[in-house]
Amino acid sequence: MARTETAFLCESPASIDRVYGQGRRETIGRISQLYPSCLSRSMLVEHAPRLRDVQAVFSTWGMPTLDRQDLALLPALKLVLYGAGSVKGFAEPLLDAGITVVSAWQANAVPVAEFTLAQILLANKGYFRNAPACSHSLAGWKGAFRDIRGNYGRTVAILGAGAIGRKLIELLRPFKLAVVVWDPFLSAESARGLGVEKVETLAEAFGRGAVVSNHLANVPETRGLLTGALFDRLPEDATFINTGRGTTVREDEMAAVLARRPDLSALLDVTDPEPPVSDSPLYALPNVHLTSHIAGSIGDEVVRMGDYMIEEFLAWEAGRPLRCAVTRAMLSTMA
């Protein structure tokens, strides 16, 4: 039986080499009839005579937006496999043309959830206050932070029950922690199925969480949603973690609260803008810990996204349900 014809389509061959490296490109070559060149949009016209039977394309960061003329050069195209996260920039014309779009957004959720789990466990142990104090003076060792409560029985509030939020809930299960979730799209029945408590307001989430972890998508409804008034509701010695998007936080208001309340800690992997401007108060506040957007897939972790796309391709060929297909309805809530 003839193998399905596939191709790589991306404006960044280096990204293809990263995501489909470590043998993934060779695997695709074994399970399909892979076009030998990595195509960019500008190459489609020249290569069109040999692309008429390509049914599936693999891509990642650098996927071009294709218009009707471009798609006419790929008349057999049925499936686009995007080995990265958000597809908002290019998916709509593909979906309009009846082409299935698959994204590795669930694969990218894994390292973000793992990163957040590590921060939650360390935060409840007082690590982000204790380590700087002990590192800079002997006084930091003398009785400081003896009132740290640790992880046992603490409450973690998760904002957003998308792929990352749900993966984090799964990773938290072995620990004796109470988990509450704020997500207007999460039903009470779904919350019970996840083994968490749904809270109805952000005020309650911030008021109860020893750790509040933000996983809200960057959509118009969430921009500036997390205000200074919410941060002021945090319990004593609480920690705010942001691996979602900086745009969801009113950073000037958050910074003002953190300056007034040194008992709080903020662990920010994302900011707005990113990185913060040179005179941002986030650099000066000792209770703010910045990282350079490292929670998502980096280094060897990116090949997990390639693996997900290979698995989805095999499922599509076999007529099995796809785990990571993107629908038009999903575009309005995806980051």
End-to-end CA gap in the chain: 40
Neighbours of 220 (CB within 10 A): 7
Tell me, yes or no, whether 172 and 139 share the same domain: yes
283 and 158, same domain (yes or no): yes
**Tens-place pLDDT, residues 108-119:** 899 999 999 999
Cα–Cα distance between 247 and 123 in angstroms, integer? Answer: 23
pLDDT digits (tens, 9 = 90+) for 270-310: 999 999 999 999 999 999 999 999 999 999 999 999 999 99
Q: Taking the CA of residue 165 as centre, how many other CA atoms within 13 Å lie in the half-sphere pointing to its CB?
A: 27
Whether 195 and 50 map to the same domain: the answer is no
What is the phi/psi pair of residue 239, to 5°? -130, 135
pLDDT, residue 299, reads 93
Q: CATH number for the domain including 282?
A: 3.40.50.720
pLDDT at position 139, please? 75
Number of domains observed in the structure of the chain: 2
Same domain, residue pair 225 and 113: yes
Per-residue model confidence as pLDDT tens digits over 235-254: 999 999 999 999 999 999 99
At 135 the pLDDT is: 86
187 and 217 within one domain:
yes
Q: What is the pLDDT of residue 334?
A: 63
Same domain, 165 and 285: yes
Query: Residue 326: which domain range?
Result: 5-107+299-331
The reply to whether 98 and 155 lie within a common domain is no
Query: Do 158 and 307 sit in the same domain of this protein?
Result: no
Q: Which residues contact 55 (CB under 8 A, 6 or more apart)?
A: 4, 5, 6, 76, 77, 78, 79
pLDDT tens, position by position, 152-192? 999 999 999 999 999 999 999 999 999 999 999 999 999 99
